[in-house]
Structure 1
Amino acid sequence: MSRIGKKAVELPSGVTASVSGQSIEVKGPKGVRTFKATDDVDLKVEDNTVSVIPRGKSKRARQQWGMSRTMVANLVTGVTEGFKKELEIQGVGYRAQMQGNTLKLNLGLSHDVDYTAPDGVTVTAPKQTEIVVEGIDEQLVGQVAANIRAWRKPEPYKGKGIRYKGEFVFRKEGKKK
């Protein structure tokens, strides 16, 4: 039994949801998001809640039950609050700055890295050592943050690189004589 799937998703004021077949569309102050559920679950909108109900007792139906409920909850969170990932840059000479719509990264490479964010995601650099990625799609926000981090992952000896805010980097001891 799914403990997550049993809970109905509450719709806050200003958010509406409509179901057509296996698709659900959620509209809120920040935008519109849709999700297409598999045939293993049913979606129902009643009053100000969205509930996900499994069709049958198969293992796949139970798996899709909790996952579908979480996806619907993410839609609601995205259109009300949005999602945000913060990155920190550590290292001498490593910095980030915005030039129009492009993020320009100096990461100790022989060239500067220019990164243009896809539609639906905003990237800002409030300081030279901070990057903030925001949007209404959690998966897209996480993927953009991972793409930026992939240019220079934090290394274990000096800790230089791009890391998520609050990320712990296991440090290694260098060579000894």
Structure 2
Amino acid sequence: MSRVAKNPVTVPAGVEVKFGTDAIIIKGKNGELSLPLTDNVAIELNDGQLTFTAKDNSKQANAMSGTARALVNNMVKGVSEGFEKKLQLIG
């Protein structure tokens, strides 16, 4: 299993997660995002946490489990907190 995929994604209050066999849809106060899923990643929702596991021991499945976790984490942050850019002016 990927090191990134080992960490679960915490779903905050006010964020709704729906997933099936082909896509995951995340809705929050800032909008709705969807991501098509691959066949070699399994997603489970338990107690407000999403966990990602590779369905087989292939290198591709391992890599895609970590990639899917990172993308879904960014989606959850986007619909709950929104995008923020901080600049530092030095000089």
Shift of 1:81: 0.8
Partner of 1:68: 68
Partner of 2:9: 9
Q: Which runs of structure 1 show a deviation greater than 4 angstroms over 4 or more consecutive aligned residues?
A: none
> Could you give the per-residue CA deviations for residues 105-159 of structure 1, whole angstroms, max 9, x where no partner exists?
xxxxxxxxxxxxxxxxxxxxxxxxxxxxxxxxxxxxxxxxxxxxxxxxxxxxxxx
Amino acid at match of 1:38: T
Shift of 1:34: 0.8
Kindly, what percent of the aligned residue pairs are identical?
Answer: 34
Shift of 1:10: 0.6
Identify unmatched segments of 5+ residues in structure 2: none
CA contact (8 A) 1:17 1:25 kept: yes
Count residues in correspondence.
89
> Could you give the per-residue CA deviations for residues 49-93 of structure 1, whole angstroms, max 9, x where no partner exists?
11111110101001101100001101100001112346xxxxxxx
CA contact (8 A) 1:19 1:45 kept: no
Identify unmatched segments of 5+ residues in structure 1: 87-164, 167-177
The CA distance in 2 between the partners of 1:50 and 1:18, in whole Å, is 11
Partner of 1:21: 21
> Could you give the per-residue CA deviations for residues 86-107 of structure 1, whole angstroms, max 9, x where no partner exists?
6xxxxxxxxxxxxxxxxxxxxx
Higher gyration radius (CA): 1
Matched, 1:39 2:39: yes
CA contact (8 A) 2:25 2:32 kept: yes
1:107-122 maps to which residues of 2 (within 5 A)?
Answer: none
Amino acid at match of 1:72: V
CA contact (8 A) 2:21 2:37 kept: no
Q: CA RMSD in A?
A: 1.7
Amino acid at match of 2:68: S
> Could you give the per-residue CA deviations for residues 2-39 of structure 1, whole angstroms, max 9, x where no partner exists?
11101111111111101111311111111111111211
The CA distance in 2 between the partners of 1:47 and 1:21, in whole Å, is 21
Q: Which has the higher contact order (CA 8 A, sep 6+)?
A: 2
The CA distance in 2 between the partners of 1:80 and 1:66, in whole Å, is 21
1:88-167 maps to which residues of 2 (within 5 A)?
Answer: 165-166=87-88
CA contact (8 A) 1:30 1:82 kept: yes
Q: TM-score, normalised by structure 1?
A: 0.47
The CA distance in 1 between the partners of 2:22 and 2:52, in whole Å, is 11
Name the SS for the 1:78 alignment partner: helix
